[in-house]
Amino acid sequence: MKDALTGALAETPGDGTAVILVDDVADLPLIGAAAVDHALVLVVLAPTVPILDRSMLLAAVGVLAVDCAPHVRIVALDVRTGAEVDDVVAAALFLASAESTTGQIVQVTPR
C-alpha cells in the first residue's frame, strides 16, 4: 500500500509528501519528524492497528496539525480491514489536493 501511495503522491506540489504508514502508537514520533522536511504529511493507519492505539493516533492528528500549521499540513487515512488499495489512493489524492485542509481524517472502509 505504501508504494502505491508514494507513487500516486509523487506529483504533489510543494516540498513533497511524506507517507507514514502507522502500525502502532510507537510510530507517532515519525509523524513529527516527517513534518520537518515536507509540506504534507499523510498518516495512514493500517487496518492492523489495535483499537486503543488507533484512538490515540487519531486524537493526535488534530493536535499535530495545529502545532505544524501553517507551513505543514497533516492529514490521516483510517484504513479498515478489507479496504481496497485503489480507494485508499483515491482518498489520499483527495486530501493532497485539498490545499486548505489540515487535521482531517478520512476513514476508508470496504465497499
pLDDT in tens, 43-102: 999 999 999 999 999 999 999 999 999 999 999 999 999 999 999 999 999 999 998 999
Q: Which domain holds residue 58?
A: 2-108
Checking if the pLDDT of 10 tops 90, the result is: no
Q: Band of the pLDDT at 8, cuts 50, 70, 90?
A: confident
**What's the Rg (C-alpha) of the chain?**
13
pLDDT category of residue 25 using cuts at 50, 70 and 90: confident
Please tell me the pTM assigned to this model. Answer: 0.90
| Closest to 40 measured CA to CA, from 88, 111, 96 | 96
Count the domains in the chain.
1
| Residue bearing the bigger pLDDT, 5 or 48 | 48
Measuring CA to CA, how many Å separate 89 from each of 64, 71, 79, 81? 23, 24, 11, 15
Instruction: Rank 16-25, 31-40, 77-86 by mean pLDDT and report only the highest.
Output: 77-86
**Residue 5, pLDDT score:** 84
